[in-house]
A and B are shown apart, each in its own frame.
Chain A
Amino acid sequence: DVKVTQSSRYLVKRTGEKVFLECVQDMDHENMFWYRQDPGLGLRLIYFSYDVKMKEKGDIPEGYSVSREKKERFSLILESASTNQTSMYLCASSFSGSNEKLFFGSGTQLSVL
């Protein structure tokens, strides 16, 4: 079974801190994604990557950056955390090509105080 592992289930940070969220997948997927999930808003795409060192902005990239130095790992970085970044963050991966199934991690609930 494909596994997408997110490093933390719950995280509490202070305003202004630099925050790293890590995601690792074990199925050699080309594509990796970061979404945030907020009640009533569904999932919104922050960034995605279709290859090592490649990244594309999603719908809400402001305040975030990403890093993909190895194929299996995709990191989301909050340069200076703010309270409006309190959310559930979901990582996903898939093979390249059309209509491939996305495999999701179980999420990181981030609270910024």
Chain B
Amino acid sequence: SSELTQDPAVSVALGQTVRITCQGDSLRNFYAWYQQKPGQAPVLVTYGKNNRPSRTPDRFSGSSSGNTAYLTITGAQAEDEADYYCNSRGRSGFVVFGGGTKLTVL
């Protein structure tokens, strides 16, 4: 099992807010989030304390509390339907990824 735990699937109504969670070791206070659409490469969405690459829409935000990281999408759009993965430093490896969350926009 992964060191980082994500809900397998989450759904949100179009235009509503959704929070995707990633639970892990409390010693890890850094998480990054990636979006992956079918047949495409993962794309970095946020990293660290809500840092976003320039191409990431500002409706995406990252945060954390204790041993849980959150990716919040405020006003979800149809194009946000994708798999989302969190990552942090691995306990014994270079990095560890969560199992992924499939986001459905209704």
A binds B: no
User: What residues make up the interface of B, taking CB atoms closer than 8 Å to A?
Assistant: none
